[in-house]
Structure 1
Amino acid sequence: MPIEPPYLRIAGGLRRRIVSGELAPGDRLPSTRVIVREWGVAMATATKALSVLRAEGLVRAVPGVGTVVAERPAPGPGGAGDGPALSRGRIVRTATELADAEGLPAVSMRRVATILSTSTMALYRHVPGKAELIRLMSDEAFGERPLGAVPHGWRPALELAARWLRSAYGRHPWLAQAAASFTGPTASPHAMRYTEWVLRALAGTGLPPHTKLHIHLTLFAHVQGLAMAGELESQALQDTGLSAEQWMEKNEPHSNAISASLDYPFLNSLFEHDEFELDLDVLFEFGLRRTLDGIAVMVGETSA
């Protein structure tokens, strides 16, 4: 009786685990390194065993993840698998709804997979990982409501752009934090379209190209910073169960003790006569107008 080659013996063992359901669609198979260690074979043998299963259509390679069990064909009409098919768009929409409801920290590939009633590894067929998922969510949010035509005059145009961005953050409070997580340029068409719109609004100002980009980034940072402050406040409420007023009341004795030290005379003088309440909407308007005033000076100097 001919002896079965080691790679076929390994492939047979993995095949039985797949057929029995021990390894479900989307589950990761042992890596070649694990196979080498557990079966005591060479790396080439381990690679050949996985190649056999791949040729049979039982497994597939996922970049950055490894070899996973391939999805089984969905049942026909009337079968158990008649729900919406898993797709990148459905995954992004589900993750966006989750972030809208619970904040960005709640989003994970495992959590999204649970909501979609599928395995975590099945998501990797459509989205490489969490970072790419968040990028896709952000770009979809930026493309939700187009800015429209650029109005005449750079100032009303920039004001419109800032208010549009603030409304986007209002619909998706997690978006500011997500955008801040990208430390370099990203291929996000809708986000890039927003930048292009702002640069077009500044086209007739005569300002140097890099100055226009700095203006865009300054306005973007102003809106984003306030949106992140609002989101952090909401997250703190969710984590502690205390509203801003309740938090202030709880910390009032400590704040009063610091004020009584007389180490901060100028800061204390701000509150001697009138109550001060931090309002992010007021701060947004103040920062926007002062920024636009500064840009107006730059444009005037360039024209002169």
Structure 2
Amino acid sequence: MTEKDNIKELPGIQWFPGHMRKAQRLIEENLKLVDVIIELLDARVPASSANPMLAEMIAGTPRLIALNKSDLADPAMTKAWLNYFHIQGIKAVAIDANKGKGMKQLMSEVEDLARPRTERFAKNGGRPRAARCMILGIPNVGKSSLINRLAGAAKTKTANMPGVTRAKQWIKIDKNLDLLDMPGILWPKFEDSSVGLKLAFTGAINDDIYDQEQVVGLLLEALLRDAPKRLIERFKLPEPLPQRGHELLELIGRKRGCLVKGGNVDIDKAQRIVMAEFRAGKLGHVTLDQVPTSSTEMDTNEKVTSAH
């Protein structure tokens, strides 16, 4: 994809409710208890799902980045992102918490990062103890699913609703690892409003925050540019395709039988179908963030859609 394919911005979106502030304080208060931070990112939006507040909050604590939902992302782009983090000197792995992909590598990396601290603790007269790890990430990025996978059972409640994990939880994985699950937090302001839009696409922000018809329309326009054949195949659409998102949404609604009295399209039902199928990966493997060209930071202004 090219720079001209940048996803359009959706202005005026901010979300930082009271429980987010409480979660931030909770994280800051408990950092001293852990040896390693797992920062869980969405592999479809590695830059957009990285909370810029965390860098300062966790400074000095070893960190492992885990790109979750890698099964939904473009594999080539995921590989490029892993290489980017490697160049930055940051440990990173790609995982699929739902299917268990990448768990062994993640555990190995956590143990390696924690070892200096656990060994120092033992040398200073403390009893040998398990590595202590905190999992951080924005809402709905898969923290609870990762813990359930590592623990081998549904140890913590999961739901497809941003912010379902509200209080801290210590979970013993095995004799070598204890996990501290923390609530997911977003940051107070999206400096680049396209970040908020991508987080709406992937479900990190509650759907009630946005005008869903507008969001789905913009998503369809992005896919129309990048992967029109996928839309045609998935929804059995005739060519040529409409070039405006709301017109394409109406066509999809008709093809899927989302009709109400009088033959009009039930737009709410149609947009729910499109969003659900995108988030489930039924519209293909899509990465919305391009690997930065900067060698120092992730520049959200250079994000485009990539599809596989």
Structure-2-length-normalised TM-score: 0.25
Higher RCO, 1 or 2 (CA under 8 Å, sep at least 6)?
A: 2
Name the structure where helix makes up a greater proportion of residues: 1
Name the structure where strand makes up a greater proportion of residues: 2
Greater Cα radius of gyration, structure 1 or 2? 1
Structure-1-length-normalised TM-score: 0.25
